[in-house]
Structures are given as C-alpha cells and as structure tokens.
Chains A and B, each alone.
Chain A
Amino acid sequence: MTTVQTTTADRVASVTSFLRTFTSRYASVLPTLAAVGVLLLLLMGAQSRFGNFVSPGNMSALLLDNAYLMILAVGMTFVIVTAGIDLSVGSVMAFTGILGASMLSTGVPVYIAVPIMLGGGATIGLLLGVLVQYFNVQPFIATLAGLFLARGLAYVVSLSSIRVEEPSLLWLQATRFRLGDWYITPTGIIAIVVVATGALVMHFTRFGRTVYAIGGSEQSARLMGLNVARTKVMVYVISGFCGRLAGLVLTAYSGAGYPRNGIGTELDVIAVVVIGGTLLTGGRGYVLGSMVGVFVFGTIKSVISFMGAEQSWTHIIVGALLLVFIVVQRAIVARSDRPR
C-alpha cells in the first residue's frame, strides 16, 4: 500500500519536475504553445456552439480570407525579432494595390505591372532600413514616415477604388484546387510558401541566426563580427516586400485596388505576431507562431460573424487577448531574467 502511495507521489514529483525543466528549457516556445492552445480552445468552443464550424469549407476559407495578413505577419516577425517595428505595412499594401490596379486599367501588361508592384515595396523598405540603420532614426518614427508616405502616394495614384479585370490576377483568387471538401487558392499557396520560406530562412540560414542575434543583443552581435547593418536594412526590405506581396494578394482577393485598404492593418499584424509568441523586445519568436496568431485572429473574426454580432467586437477581443499575451510574456521574461 505504501509503495503505491510513494509511486503516486513520485509520479507527481516527476511530472512537476518535468514541467519545470520543460518550461525553463523551452521558455521561448511557451507563448507560441499558449497560442496553439487558445486556437484549439476557440475551434472546439465554436464547434460545440455552432456544430458546423470546423468544416473543411470553413477552415479553407480561414486561410483564403487571411492570406494577406499571413504574408504581412511573416515580414513583421523578422522586423520584431530584431527588436524593431514596421508601421508602414498596411499603407504599403494599399499603395501596391491601387498602383497595380491603375496600371492594369491603363493597359500596362500584367508581366510588367506585377514586377513593378513587387519591386517598389522593397524600395520603400530599403529607404526605411537605411533611415533606421545609418541615420539612427527610431524604427517607430522611420516607419511612421513610411506609413504617411505610402498612404499619401496611394491617394496620389487615385482617390477612389479601381476595379481589376485582368484575368491572370483574378485567377489567383478564383481558382480552387480541391481535395474532397478542402480547397486552396493560389493566394493561399502563396501565403503558405511565404510562411515556409520565412521559417526556413529564420532557422536554417546565417541571415536568420543573425536576425535572432541582433534581437538578443545588438551590441554583442556587432562584437561577434556579424553583419548587423546589412541584416537590419534587409529585415525592413523583407517587410516591405511582404507588404507588396500582400497588396497583390489583397487586390486579387477584393478584385479592386482601393486607397483606403489596410488602414489599421499594421496594428492587427503587430497584435497577431505578439499573440503568436514573438517577444516585442526582440530575440525570440517564430514565423510559424505568427501563422498560429493569424489563425487565432481569423477564427475570432469568423466566430463573431457566425454569432451575428458586431464586427467591432473583433478588435475588443483581439485587444484583450493581446493584453493577456503580453502579460504572460512579461512573466516569462521576468522568470528567465532572474539569476539562477
């Protein structure tokens, strides 16, 4: 009898010690795991409430509706891991969309229009990166200028919405590759490719490791002889490119360019990245985590539309969730910073 009791006690002890080791060893994964937990809870809750929520069609739509957000989140993850921030992504996305739509409507062939759409964002990103790195401008202010610049330029191109009738661009959205009831559009494939590329670059290249090193401590990274300057400029270029790609995807998704698109999207993206477990102080974060964050955001949005409630609840709930996650992050950082 006593032996049984001791084994139970032992087991409890071993479980708690396992948990302790796990949490201290994988502290940086915990927020992402928490996001996965929240996502599963949301899906299960919605499924039990509505009965038909976790259906292939609905889940496929989740990827389709949030493809642009996912692409933006990948770029933002790179920037935030270096302890920077990019406020310009929403405006860059709108500018790309309206620029592309206006070029196509004036008869510019699509094989010229699309490269211009993608190339210009990298240029804005380059400008911001140079401001941050070589002129020591705070990322917040430099990208704020980028926000104003791209938004204003979007209105310079056109003050009203322009329809896109280019078949090859609409093809990105209209085509459905089906597998049973599941389907995926070319835009969804683009989003997944971007996530996969981002994750691979972050974890398996010298560039990715430098990004993490800069976020951990820029000074140390420099002393180690890593190329801090080039990497910091590069992350803004990447984020700008992602903004452009998202603009292309959004244009295909909505079938039009509109200069008011993406107002406030930069904040959604930051929220999504933080919920996905990336630390705003830099140095920790995962591209795949940001993808989970996007799914959490998208699920909240579609749950609210299932319930027929006001869409303004989305931002209230996302705000609350953001708060919970930053408090959790704060606790984790405080724990791991404590001298052992």
Chain B
Amino acid sequence: MTKILKHRLFWPAAALVSLLAVNIIANQSFARITMRDGQLYGALIDILRQSAPLMLVALGMTLVIATRGIDLSVGAIMAVSGAVALTIIDSSPSPGSLGTVAVAVVVALLVSLVLGAWNGFLVSVLGIQPIIATLVLMLAGRGVALLITGGAITTVNSAPLKFIASGYLFILPFAFFISVAAIATVGLLERRTALGVLTEAVGINPEASRLAGVRARGIKWSAYVASGLLAGIAGVIYASNISAADANAAGFLIELYAILAVVLGGTSLMGGKFSIAGTVIGVLTVQTLGSTILFFGVPSAQSPVVFAAVVILVVLLQSDLVHRTAKRVWSQVRAEFTSSNQQDTEVAS
C-alpha cells in the first residue's frame, strides 16, 4: 500500500481519477460510449481526440524541461506550421488529393523542425537563457504566420486534411493514434535507450555531465528540435480540425497549458528527472478539467480562473514550507494519538 502511495505517479493519477469521478457523478452520460457505424463516440472519446495537439506539445515540452529549459515558442510554431500547410494546399490545383496534403504536411513539419533547431541553436550554442531565446520566436513566429497567410484566415476544403483531426481509424479517432504513436516513439527513445538518462544528467547538472563526457550541447539541441517538430504536428492537427489556418488563434496559450500539464505530471521545472507517463496523465487531466469547466456552464473564456487555482494549489503542494508544516502537524497528531492510546491501555490494565 505504501509502495503505491509513494509512487511518483500516484498523486497525478489520483487527481485524474477523482476528476473523472466528479464528472461521472455529476453527469451520467459522461461515461457513456456509443458505437455508431463502427466508430466510438462519447465525451471520453472526445477528450482523447481533442487532447492530441496538447499531448504532442507537452511531450516536447517535457524533454525541454528535463534539460532545464523551457520552450515558449510552441504556440507560434503551431501557427507557422498550420499556415505553411494550408497555404500550400490552398495554392495547389487539387486541394483534395492525398499527394498535395502529404507534401504540405511534410513541408510544414520541415519548417517546424528548422524553427526548433533555431531555438536549440540559441540555447545550446549561444548559451542564451531558454525563456528569452524562445521568446524571440514566440514574438516573431505569429508575425511570420500572419505574413504567410497574408493576414487572413486561410480556409481550405480538403478531405484528406480533414481526416487527420476528425477521421476514424478502426473504431477510434485518427488523432488519438497520432498521439499514441508520439508517446510510444518518445517513450521508446528516452526509456529504452540511454538518451533518457543522459537527458536527466544534463538537466540535473549540465557542467558535471559535460565533464563526465555527456554531449550536453547535442542533447539540449535535440530536445528543442523534438519540441519544434512535435509542435509542428500539433499545428497540422489544429489546422485540420478547423480546416483553416488562423495565425492568431492557433496554439494560443498552449505553451502555458503544456507547462501546466508537465508540472501536473510530476516533472520538476528545475530540470532533471522527467516522466513521460506523468505528462500523459497531466495532459488528460488538463483536457478533462477544461471540458468539466465547460460542462458546469462556465463560459470557456472564464476557465483560466480555475486553471489559476489549480496551478496555485499544485505549486503549494510541492513547496517545502507546506511539506514541513504538514509533517509537523502530522507528527503532532500521531504523538497525541499514541499518547492517548497509551493512556487507554494504562486504564485498561
């Protein structure tokens, strides 16, 4: 029992489960999953489908945070990636063909890869603080995306593009498979090779790991490249979901939600130890919380208040001051309990 309680995924998982429980109690139809034309529908399936962009971004963010960095530019990269893909599809003679969409997606991902590499260059080679290095792209990226789309919202009508976000493979949404594939790839690369351990080493002490022969620069750089690429995929999914490239709304505030998901999953912002499974739980928690807030009739614009409360609660639970106070109170309670027990036994004897 204590082993389960001590597991570092216990609290994140408990939060997710209790959130789901609240939803199911408040609304019986929440847990209902219906089968229509061989495809599953329901609130839970929606959460899986809609969480795909946040999942991808948060996975990249986990890697970056593990190297003691942060990537603020993911939302802007999403906007650029969506703008590139949709502009290519829009200008092609056959927007509905699979080939066009494939080319557009590949080009968009290459652009995101380059943007990620640019962030990595600033951080790992020039040694600029991650917050500021990625702030440059965060500011400029949306401007670039607006220029690509010519300041307008590019809309296209393309079945293959639409499939990425709303299509079904077997009985589950295609977007869900994308996030599962991303989780599996990142998980295998980080946990079945030495890469994960090296990343943690770089995050815990960059100087020591460099002296120990770890190529800190390359590892940091690759984390930003991965983050850029994953944000690019997220941008394509977002653009596919609304069949449009909206340079202002795409990935808006997603960097903050991704950071929140990573922190909820138990990865420390101080770098070092990270947990892919924790991030997955964190993303699902954030997404479920979002739909819970909507379900309780709060306008989506007001949901930040709830998220702020969650952030404050989580950081307070993690802080030393609260830990110490809780420990002191607990030991006092236990001391009183045992002493009263002793009195009882004395009385009995």
B-binding residues in A (CB < 8 A) = 85, 131, 134-138, 140-142, 144-149, 151-153, 155-156, 159, 259, 267-268, 270-271, 274, 280-281, 310, 312-316, 318-320, 322-323, 326-327, 330
**B247: A residues at CB distance < 8 A:** 312
Please, which residue of chain B has its CB at the minimum distance from the CB of A157? B302
Are B306 and A315 in contact, with the CB atoms below 8 A? no
User: Would B135 and A270 count as touching, CB distance under 8 A?
Assistant: yes
Do residues A322 and B139 form an inter-chain contact, with CB atoms below 8 A?
yes
| Nearest CB of chain A from residue B136's CB, rounded to whole Å | 5
Q: What are 6 A-to-B residue pairs whose CB atoms are below 8 Å?
A: A135-B321, A137-B315, A138-B269, A144-B256, A144-B260, A152-B302
Surface stretch bound by A, among B5-13, B19-27, B143-151? B143-151
CB distance A267 to B138 under 8 Å? Answer: yes
Contact with A along B99-119 (1 / 0, CB 8 A): 000000000000000000000
CB neighbours (8 Å) of B142 from chain A are: 312, 315
B319 touching A137 by the CB < 8 A rule?
yes
- Most B CB atoms within 10 A — which of A145, A271, A318? A145
Cα-based distance from A279 to B226 in the complex (angstroms): 29
Shortest C-beta distance, A99 to chain B (Å), equals 14
- Residues on B with C-beta less than 8 A from A259 are 301
Q: Show the binding face of B for A, using Cβ within 8 Å.
A: 70, 122, 126-129, 131-133, 135-144, 146-147, 151, 247, 256, 259-260, 263, 269-270, 299, 301-309, 311-312, 315-316, 319-322
Q: How far is the CA of A146 from the CA of B308 in the complex (A)?
A: 7
A159 touches B319 (CB 8 A): no
Contact A148 B315 (CB under 8 A): no
A137 to B141, alpha carbons, bound, how many Å? 29
Using Cβ atoms and an 8 Å threshold, which residues of chain A touch B126? 327, 330
* Cross-chain contact A330 with B135 (CB below 8 angstroms): no
Picked from A138, A152, A318, the residue with its CB within 8 Å of the CB of B304 is A152
Cβ-neighbour of A274 out of B132, B138, B302 (below 8 A): B132
Give Cα A148–Cα B312 distance, bound, in whole angstroms.
Answer: 11
On whether the beta carbons of B308 and A159 are closer than 8 Å, the reply is: no
A229 CB to closest chain B CB (Å) equals 13
Residues of A with C-beta under 8 A to B135: 267, 270-271, 322
Partner of B305, one of A135, A148, A318: A148
Q: List 18 additional contacts besides A147-B304, A148-B311, A326-B133; criterion CB under 8 Å.
A: A131-B316, A135-B315, A135-B319, A141-B315, A147-B256, A148-B304, A148-B305, A148-B307, A149-B308, A149-B309, A267-B139, A270-B132, A280-B131, A281-B129, A315-B140, A315-B143, A319-B139, A327-B126
A320 in complex: contacting residue of B127, B140, B319, B320, CB < 8 Å: B140
Task: Select from chain B the residue with minimum beta-carbon distance to A274.
Answer: B132
